[in-house]
Structure 1
Amino acid sequence: MPIEVNGASYETDENGYLVNLEDWSEDVALKLAEGEEVEMGEGEWELVNFLRNYYEEFQIAPAVKVLTKAIAKERGMDKKEASEYLYGMFPKGPALQACKIAGLPKPTGCV
Protein backbone atom coordinates (compact mmCIF):
# COMPACT_ATOMS: atom_id res chain seq x y z
CA MET A 1 0.00 0.00 0.00
CA PRO A 2 1.77 3.17 -1.14
CA ILE A 3 2.08 6.39 0.82
CA GLU A 4 2.12 9.82 -0.82
CA VAL A 5 4.76 12.37 0.19
CA ASN A 6 5.33 15.66 -1.64
CA GLY A 7 3.64 14.35 -4.79
CA ALA A 8 5.69 11.14 -4.90
CA SER A 9 4.45 7.63 -4.12
CA TYR A 10 6.42 5.21 -1.94
CA GLU A 11 5.63 1.51 -1.69
CA THR A 12 5.06 -0.05 1.74
CA ASP A 13 4.43 -3.64 2.72
CA GLU A 14 1.26 -4.98 4.36
CA ASN A 15 2.51 -3.71 7.75
CA GLY A 16 3.36 -0.21 6.52
CA TYR A 17 7.15 -0.62 6.36
CA LEU A 18 8.96 0.88 3.37
CA VAL A 19 9.68 -1.71 0.69
CA ASN A 20 12.76 0.17 -0.59
CA LEU A 21 15.03 1.47 2.16
CA GLU A 22 16.48 4.00 -0.30
CA ASP A 23 13.09 5.75 -0.40
CA TRP A 24 13.53 7.04 3.16
CA SER A 25 13.81 10.76 3.84
CA GLU A 26 12.84 12.94 6.77
CA ASP A 27 9.62 13.86 4.95
CA VAL A 28 8.80 10.18 4.45
CA ALA A 29 9.59 9.60 8.14
CA LEU A 30 7.13 12.34 9.12
CA LYS A 31 4.41 10.70 7.01
CA LEU A 32 5.12 7.28 8.54
CA ALA A 33 5.11 8.83 12.04
CA GLU A 34 1.75 10.44 11.31
CA GLY A 35 0.35 7.00 10.48
CA GLU A 36 1.73 5.70 13.78
CA GLU A 37 0.33 8.68 15.71
CA VAL A 38 3.85 9.61 16.84
CA GLU A 39 4.83 13.25 17.13
CA MET A 40 8.46 13.61 16.08
CA GLY A 41 10.42 15.59 18.63
CA GLU A 42 14.13 15.70 19.40
CA GLY A 43 14.15 12.35 21.24
CA GLU A 44 12.22 10.59 18.50
CA TRP A 45 14.60 11.87 15.80
CA GLU A 46 17.57 10.88 17.96
CA LEU A 47 16.24 7.33 18.18
CA VAL A 48 15.41 7.17 14.46
CA ASN A 49 18.95 8.27 13.61
CA PHE A 50 20.40 5.79 16.12
CA LEU A 51 18.43 2.99 14.43
CA ARG A 52 19.52 4.02 10.94
CA ASN A 53 23.17 4.10 12.05
CA TYR A 54 22.81 0.71 13.79
CA TYR A 55 21.26 -0.78 10.66
CA GLU A 56 24.00 0.66 8.46
CA GLU A 57 26.65 -0.92 10.69
CA PHE A 58 25.05 -4.32 11.38
CA GLN A 59 22.57 -4.73 8.48
CA ILE A 60 19.81 -5.63 10.92
CA ALA A 61 17.31 -3.68 12.98
CA PRO A 62 17.82 -4.24 16.71
CA ALA A 63 15.24 -6.09 18.78
CA VAL A 64 13.71 -4.10 21.64
CA LYS A 65 16.02 -5.70 24.25
CA VAL A 66 19.12 -4.67 22.31
CA LEU A 67 17.66 -1.22 21.72
CA THR A 68 16.81 -0.73 25.40
CA LYS A 69 20.29 -1.81 26.50
CA ALA A 70 21.98 0.53 24.00
CA ILE A 71 19.82 3.52 24.99
CA ALA A 72 20.37 2.79 28.70
CA LYS A 73 24.13 2.81 28.17
CA GLU A 74 24.09 5.90 25.94
CA ARG A 75 21.89 7.94 28.30
CA GLY A 76 23.25 6.65 31.64
CA MET A 77 19.95 5.03 32.60
CA ASP A 78 19.11 1.66 34.01
CA LYS A 79 17.19 -0.70 31.73
CA LYS A 80 13.81 0.08 33.33
CA GLU A 81 14.29 3.82 32.87
CA ALA A 82 15.41 3.28 29.27
CA SER A 83 12.39 1.09 28.58
CA GLU A 84 10.01 3.70 30.02
CA TYR A 85 11.75 6.41 27.98
CA LEU A 86 11.40 4.40 24.75
CA TYR A 87 7.78 3.37 25.35
CA GLY A 88 6.96 6.98 26.24
CA MET A 89 7.93 8.00 22.71
CA PHE A 90 6.75 4.87 20.89
CA PRO A 91 3.89 3.38 22.94
CA LYS A 92 3.00 0.62 20.45
CA GLY A 93 6.53 -0.76 20.67
CA PRO A 94 9.76 1.18 20.29
CA ALA A 95 11.45 -1.31 17.98
CA LEU A 96 8.40 -1.76 15.75
CA GLN A 97 7.29 1.87 15.50
CA ALA A 98 10.71 3.51 15.46
CA CYS A 99 12.08 1.09 12.85
CA LYS A 100 9.07 1.74 10.65
CA ILE A 101 9.55 5.51 10.92
CA ALA A 102 13.30 5.05 10.31
CA GLY A 103 12.49 3.27 7.03
CA LEU A 104 13.98 -0.01 8.25
CA PRO A 105 12.63 -3.54 8.02
CA LYS A 106 10.58 -4.97 10.86
CA PRO A 107 12.99 -6.09 13.61
CA THR A 108 13.63 -9.82 13.93
CA GLY A 109 11.68 -11.40 16.75
CA CYS A 110 8.92 -8.76 16.76
CA VAL A 111 5.37 -9.94 16.16
Structure 2
Amino acid sequence: MHMHTNLQRSVRVNGRDIATDSEGYLRNLQDWSEDFARALAREENLTLTDEHWEVIRFLREHYQQHGVQAQVRVMIRHFTQAWGPQRGSNHHLHELFPVGGPQKQGNRLAGLLRTKGEH
Protein backbone atom coordinates (compact mmCIF):
# COMPACT_ATOMS: atom_id res chain seq x y z
CA MET A 1 0.00 0.00 0.00
CA HIS A 2 1.25 3.44 -0.91
CA MET A 3 1.10 5.91 1.94
CA HIS A 4 1.80 9.57 1.38
CA THR A 5 3.23 11.07 4.51
CA ASN A 6 2.71 14.79 4.59
CA LEU A 7 6.05 15.53 6.14
CA GLN A 8 6.97 19.16 5.85
CA ARG A 9 10.24 19.94 4.24
CA SER A 10 11.56 23.27 3.27
CA VAL A 11 14.06 24.60 0.81
CA ARG A 12 16.17 27.57 1.85
CA VAL A 13 15.87 30.28 -0.79
CA ASN A 14 17.64 33.60 -0.26
CA GLY A 15 17.44 33.25 3.50
CA ARG A 16 13.77 32.23 3.50
CA ASP A 17 12.44 28.76 4.14
CA ILE A 18 10.03 27.79 1.37
CA ALA A 19 7.63 25.05 2.44
CA THR A 20 7.49 21.87 0.39
CA ASP A 21 6.02 18.44 0.97
CA SER A 22 8.18 15.44 1.80
CA GLU A 23 9.20 14.98 -1.84
CA GLY A 24 10.10 18.61 -2.45
CA TYR A 25 6.93 19.76 -4.24
CA LEU A 26 5.95 23.33 -3.39
CA ARG A 27 3.13 23.75 -0.90
CA ASN A 28 2.17 27.11 -2.43
CA LEU A 29 2.64 27.50 -6.16
CA GLN A 30 3.12 31.25 -5.83
CA ASP A 31 6.31 30.63 -3.81
CA TRP A 32 8.10 29.58 -7.00
CA SER A 33 11.07 31.52 -8.26
CA GLU A 34 14.08 30.70 -10.39
CA ASP A 35 16.09 30.78 -7.17
CA PHE A 36 13.78 28.13 -5.70
CA ALA A 37 14.45 25.91 -8.72
CA ARG A 38 18.19 26.44 -8.30
CA ALA A 39 18.08 25.69 -4.57
CA LEU A 40 16.01 22.53 -5.05
CA ALA A 41 18.23 21.39 -7.91
CA ARG A 42 21.27 21.86 -5.66
CA GLU A 43 19.64 19.63 -3.03
CA GLU A 44 19.00 17.02 -5.75
CA ASN A 45 22.59 17.31 -7.03
CA LEU A 46 21.44 18.64 -10.37
CA THR A 47 23.20 21.42 -12.25
CA LEU A 48 20.63 23.37 -14.23
CA THR A 49 21.61 24.00 -17.84
CA ASP A 50 19.80 25.96 -20.53
CA GLU A 51 18.08 22.72 -21.50
CA HIS A 52 16.72 22.27 -17.97
CA TRP A 53 15.42 25.84 -17.98
CA GLU A 54 13.70 25.32 -21.32
CA VAL A 55 11.91 22.28 -19.90
CA ILE A 56 11.03 24.12 -16.67
CA ARG A 57 9.63 27.09 -18.64
CA PHE A 58 7.70 24.77 -20.94
CA LEU A 59 6.19 22.96 -17.93
CA ARG A 60 5.19 26.23 -16.27
CA GLU A 61 3.67 27.67 -19.45
CA HIS A 62 1.80 24.44 -20.20
CA TYR A 63 0.40 24.39 -16.67
CA GLN A 64 -0.63 28.04 -16.85
CA GLN A 65 -2.37 27.51 -20.20
CA HIS A 66 -4.04 24.18 -19.50
CA GLY A 67 -4.29 23.94 -15.71
CA VAL A 68 -2.74 20.46 -15.76
CA GLN A 69 0.81 19.17 -15.90
CA ALA A 70 2.27 18.27 -19.28
CA GLN A 71 2.41 14.55 -19.80
CA VAL A 72 5.74 13.06 -20.82
CA ARG A 73 4.52 12.37 -24.37
CA VAL A 74 3.52 16.05 -24.71
CA MET A 75 7.03 17.04 -23.60
CA ILE A 76 8.60 14.59 -26.05
CA ARG A 77 6.49 15.93 -28.93
CA HIS A 78 7.36 19.54 -28.04
CA PHE A 79 11.09 19.01 -27.52
CA THR A 80 11.47 16.72 -30.53
CA GLN A 81 10.20 19.64 -32.60
CA ALA A 82 12.30 22.16 -30.68
CA TRP A 83 15.55 20.19 -30.30
CA GLY A 84 15.33 17.34 -32.79
CA PRO A 85 14.62 13.65 -32.16
CA GLN A 86 17.81 12.84 -30.23
CA ARG A 87 17.59 15.56 -27.61
CA GLY A 88 13.79 15.58 -27.53
CA SER A 89 13.62 11.86 -26.77
CA ASN A 90 12.21 10.28 -23.65
CA HIS A 91 15.67 8.91 -22.93
CA HIS A 92 17.32 12.32 -23.07
CA LEU A 93 14.59 13.97 -20.97
CA HIS A 94 15.13 11.30 -18.32
CA GLU A 95 18.88 11.91 -18.43
CA LEU A 96 18.24 15.61 -17.83
CA PHE A 97 16.01 14.81 -14.83
CA PRO A 98 17.45 11.63 -13.30
CA VAL A 99 15.53 11.92 -10.02
CA GLY A 100 12.05 10.87 -11.11
CA GLY A 101 12.20 11.84 -14.76
CA PRO A 102 10.93 15.02 -16.42
CA GLN A 103 7.44 14.48 -15.09
CA LYS A 104 8.31 14.26 -11.41
CA GLN A 105 11.60 16.11 -11.08
CA GLY A 106 10.74 18.54 -13.86
CA ASN A 107 7.46 19.50 -12.23
CA ARG A 108 9.11 19.73 -8.82
CA LEU A 109 11.67 22.17 -10.15
CA ALA A 110 8.99 24.06 -12.07
CA GLY A 111 7.15 24.54 -8.79
CA LEU A 112 4.13 22.55 -9.93
CA LEU A 113 2.12 20.10 -7.89
CA ARG A 114 2.84 16.45 -7.52
CA THR A 115 1.41 14.65 -10.55
CA LYS A 116 -1.53 12.33 -10.18
CA GLY A 117 -0.90 8.97 -11.80
CA GLU A 118 1.44 8.55 -14.76
CA HIS A 119 4.73 7.99 -12.97
Q: TM-score, normalised by structure 2?
A: 0.82
1:84 to 88, 91, 106: 91
Q: 1:109 to 1:73 in 2, by over 3 A?
A: farther
Rounded to whole Å, the distance in 1 between the matches of 2:79 and 2:88 is: 10
Which sections of structure 1, spanning at least 5 residues, go unmatched?
A: none
Alignment-mate amino acid for residue 87 of structure 1: H
Select the residue among 8, 11, 28 that pairs with 1:3: 11
Q: Percent identity?
A: 35
- CA separation of 1:81/1:71 partners in 2, compared to 1, >3 Å: closer, same or farther? closer
Report SS of the residue matched to 1:28. Answer: helix
Quote the Cα distance in structure 1 between the aligned partners of 2:35 and 2:68. 23
Instruction: Note if contact 2:78-2:88 (Cα within 8 Å) is conserved in structure 1.
Output: no
Of the candidates 17, 25, 47, which is equivalent to residue 17 of structure 1?
25
Tell me how far apart the structure 2 counterparts of residues 39 and 76 of structure 1 sit (CA, whole Å): 22
Matches within 5 A, 1:1-111: 1-77=9-85, 82-92=89-99, 93-111=101-119
Give the SS at the match of 2:40.
helix
Contact 1:61–1:106 under 8 Å retained in 2? no
CA distance in 2, matches of 1:36, 1:110: 21
Higher relative contact order (CA 8 A, sep 6+): 1
Q: Deviation string for 1:39-84 (max 9, x for gaps)?
A: 1011001110111100110111112222222222333327x95112
Check whether the contact 1:51–1:102 (CA below 8 A) recurs between aligned residues. Answer: yes
